[in-house]
Chains A and B, each alone.
Chain A
Amino acid sequence: MSSTRFAPAAAVIAALALSATACSTKSNTDASSAGSDGVKTGPGVTEKTITLGALTDLTGPYASLGKSIVNAQQLYADQLNASGGICGRTVRITVKDHGYDVQKAVSAFTETEPNVAAVSQMVGSPVVSSLSQELESKHLLTFPMAWASTLLGREYVQVVGSTYDIDMINGVDYVVRTAKLKAGDKIGHVYFEGEYGENALAGATYAAKKAKLTIVGQKIKPTDQDLTAQVTALKQAGVKAILISAGPRQTAALVGTAAAAGFTVPVLTSSPGFAPQLMATPVGPALEKMLQVASPAPAFSADNPAMQKLAKDYTAKYPKDLLDPGVVSGWNAISVLGEDLKAACKAKDLTRQGIAAAHRKQSRLTVLGVPLNFSDRTKPATYQTFIHKPAKKAPGGLANVEPAHEVPAARTYTLPKG
C-alpha cells in the first residue's frame, strides 16, 4: 500500500476538521452585552441598528405572495424608523430569497442567523419545519408565513392570527347559516396535500360533525390545474356547498368549472386561496357570484381606519402592486414584532430572550382592528374569522360580508399536536 493513497483521505479529514471548528466558533451567538444606554443587547442589535431577518420566496411558487410580504414589512420598518425607531435604533430587514427550496433556505438561514435579533417572516411550511429545532435552540423569535395549528405550542415560532382549522370551523358555520344546510347534507372539501390542506380539513371535519354534515373530500396537489373531475364528482355526490383549501389558481378553476357546469353552490376558501389578480380573468364574475373568503383580517375596503391607512400607504409606496392577502400577513407579523421590540426596549432587554419574553407578555394587542393574545403559546392568537366576498371594484378585490365572528365549536375543537 502506498502512502499516496492516504493523501486524499487525509485532505478530506483535515477539511472536515476545519469545517467542524468553523462551526463551533459560530455557535456562540447568545452572548449579550449592555450598551452605553443601559439596554442589554444580543445578536443583531448594535448601538444604532436592530436587524431583523426575512427568509422568503421571491423566485419560486409563492413569489408574488413573498413580494407583497416583503413590501409590507419594509413599509412598516420605514414608518417605524421615520418616527424614531426603537430605543433610538433604526430597524433594518435582511431579506433572503430561498425560492421555496429547503436546502437554499437552510444555507440562507445559517448565513443571516448570527446577525439578526428576530425573524419577521419565514415563508414555507417545509422551511419552518426543518429549521424549527434551530430556532428554539437559538432563541430566535420567528413569524412563519403559514397558519397550520400544528405550528403552535413552540416558544419561538409564532403564528399570527387564526389558524387554517379555526378559519374553516368559522367558515363552515357561515356556510351552514347562509346556505341553510340541514343535518345529513353533504359538503365537499377540495384540499392540498400537506400541512395547509390537512389542517383545514381537520377543522372542517370537526365543524361538519358538529352540524351533522358529511364531508366529501377531494385531495389535490399544488401542481393540479384542472379540477373538472373533482367538480364532476362533487356534483354527483350532491354536495350543497364546497370548501377549498388550495391556491388561487385552483379556487378559480373550481369555481369556473362549477359555474360552467351550472353547479352554483356556495364555495368557501381561506385567504391563501384567493388573489385579487383573479378578478380580471373570465372567472371573475363567477367568483363574485359564488365565492366567500374566510380571513383572519378585515378587507381593505372595510370600514376600518387601520386597514384603510395601510391600503393608502401601501399603494402610495408601491403604486404598481395589488393589495393581496400577503400585504396583510406581512404587516400583521411585523406589527406584532414591532410591538414586541418596543416592549423589550422598555424593559431594557433587546437580547433574543428579552424580545421573546416581551412577546409572550402581549395578551391584549390590537393589529389592523383584530385583538390578539399571545400569552398561551399552545392556542391561536385569535379565534375570530372575517368573511369576505370577491368584488371586482373593491381595493384588494374583496368586500366584507360579515364582521369577525367566533363560533363556540372553535373553542371545543382539540387542536392537533405539531
Chain B
Amino acid sequence: MIKLTETVLNGLALGSVYALIALGFVVIFKASGVMNFAHGSLLLFGGYVTARLHDAIGFIPAVLVGAALAAALAGLVQLLATRGLRGAEIHTLTILTIGVDVLLSTELNRQVGADYLTMGDPWGADVTRLGSITVADARIAGIVVAVIVIGAFFAAFRWSRWGLSMRSAAADPEAAALMGIRLDRVRLIAWCVAGALAALAAVFLAAFPAPGLDRTTSQIALSAFPAAILGGMDSAVGALIGSLVIGLTAAMAAGYQNELSILGAGFSDVAPYLVMVLVLLVRPTGLFGSKELTRV
C-alpha cells in the first residue's frame, strides 16, 4: 500500500510538471496551429536564466525574470514566424521551430557545459514525512504551484477577454478576424504564456531530487509530447488529463517493473506511448480533441 501511495504521488508530481509543458504545446497549437518543437529549448532557456540570476536577486525574482524572458523569447519566435514568414504554410512554421530549437539548444549547451546548475530554491533537499511515506518538499511545491498556475490559466481561458478571443480564434480564425479580433496579438500572447509555463516547469524539473539543470533537461519536453497528443492537441483540459495519465503510467510501469517483467525490461519507457496509441486507436483526435467535420 505504501508503495502504491508513493508511486501514485510520484506519478502526480511528474504529471503536474508535464502538464505545465503540455499546456504550452496545446496553447500554441490552438492559437497558431503550429507544433512547437522548440519547446524543450525554451524550457532550458527559462531554467538557465533562473539558475544564473538566483544568487544575485533571490529565488522568486529569478523565477519571474526567467519566465518573463522565456515568454519574450517565445514571443520573438512567433513574431519572426508571422512577420517574416507571413502567408507561409503551417507546416513550414512547424519546421521553423525545429530550426529554432537546434540553434537555441546548441548555444545553451555551450553555456551550461558540464555543470549542474542549481535553482537556489528554498526547499533544497528537505523532505516531509507523512506516516511512513516520505516526499521531497520540492515535489509537493511542484504539485501546489502547478495546481495554482493551471487553475489561473483555466480561469483566464474561460473568463478573460483574451481567453474568449483565443477560443474564438481557435474555433474559426477567419470569422474571429472579421469580428475584430486581432489574431496576431492573440497568438503572440499564447506563445508568451507557453514560454512562461515552460520556464516554470524547468524550475521543478531541476529541483531536488534531481541534481540541477543540465543540458539534458530539455529532453523532458519530449515526454510531455504524448501527453498533449493523448489529451487532444487542441484541448487544454485534455493536456491536463493526458499529463496526469502519462505521469501515472510512467511511474506505475517503472515502480512495478519487476511485476511487469514479462513485457520486457524498460517497459516504463514504452508504456506512455503504448497508452497514447491505444487511446488514439479508439479516439483518433485524442481524449478531448475536437473532431474534424468535413462535408463533402
- A residues within 8 Å of B by Cβ? 59, 61, 63-65, 67, 193, 216-221, 223-226, 228-230, 232-233, 235-237, 248-249, 252-253, 256-257, 259-262, 275, 277-278, 280-283, 285-286, 322, 324
Contacts of B7 in A (CB 8 A): 229, 232
Q: Tell me if A277 and B209 are in contact (CB < 8 A).
A: no
Contacts of A253 in B (CB 8 A): 209-211
Could you write out 6 A-B pairs with CB less than 8 Å apart?
A225-B210, A232-B6, A233-B256, A249-B214, A256-B125, A282-B212
Nearest-CB distance from B255 to chain A (Å)?
A: 4
Q: Give the residue name and chain of the A residue nearest to B11 (CB).
A: A229
Q: Decide yes or no: A281 and B211 within 8 Å by CB, A221-B266, A221-B269, A225-B217 being known contacts.
A: yes
Interface residues on B, range: 35 or more
Q: A-facing mask of B250-268, CB < 8 A → 1, else 0?
A: 1111111110000001101
Contact partner of B116 (CB less than 8 A), chosen from A217, A236, A281, is A281
Q: How many A-B residue pairs lie within 8 Å, measured between CB atoms?
A: 132
Question: Does B127 count as interface, using CB distance less than 8 angstroms?
Answer: yes
Q: Give the residue name and chain of the B residue nearest to A221 (CB).
A: B269
Q: Tell me if A283 and B258 are in contact (CB < 8 A).
A: no
Contacts of A322 in B (CB 8 A): 114
Contacts of B115 in A (CB 8 A): 277
Question: Does B109 count as interface, using CB distance less than 8 angstroms?
Answer: yes
Q: Tell me if A217 and B210 are in contact (CB < 8 A).
A: no
Q: Tell me if B211 and A278 are in contact (CB < 8 A).
A: yes
Question: Does B79 count as interface, using CB distance less than 8 angstroms?
Answer: no
Interface residue ranges of B128-153 to A (CB < 8 Å): 129, 134-136
How far is it, in angstroms, between the C-alpha of A63 and the C-alpha of B111 when the chains are bound? 12
Q: Decide yes or no: A229 and B109 within 8 Å by CB, A252-B211, A280-B116, A281-B211 being known contacts.
A: no
Nearest-CB distance from B253 to chain A (Å)?
A: 8
Q: Which 9 A-B pairs have the closest CB atoms?
A: A64-B114, A229-B254, A256-B209, A252-B211, A219-B265, A257-B209, A260-B136, A229-B255, A236-B3
How far is it, in angstroms, between the C-alpha of A285 and the C-alpha of B216 when the chains are bound? 23
Q: A-facing mask of B191-212, CB < 8 A → 1, else 0?
A: 0000000000000010011111
Contacts of B6 in A (CB 8 A): 232, 261
Q: Tell me if A218 and B257 are in contact (CB < 8 A).
A: yes
Q: Tell me if B10 and A260 are in contact (CB < 8 A).
A: no
How far is it, in angstroms, between the C-alpha of A223 and the C-alpha of B114 when the chains are bound? 16
Contact partner of A193 (CB less than 8 A), chosen from B14, B136, B266, is B266
How far is it, in angstroms, between the C-alpha of A281 and the C-alpha of B211 when the chains are bound? 6
Q: Tell me if A64 and B113 are in contact (CB < 8 A).
A: yes
Q: Tell me if A223 and B216 are in contact (CB < 8 A).
A: yes
Nearest-CB distance from A364 to chain B (Å)?
A: 35
Q: Decide yes or no: A249 and B10 within 8 Å by CB, A233-B257, A282-B124 being known contacts.
A: no
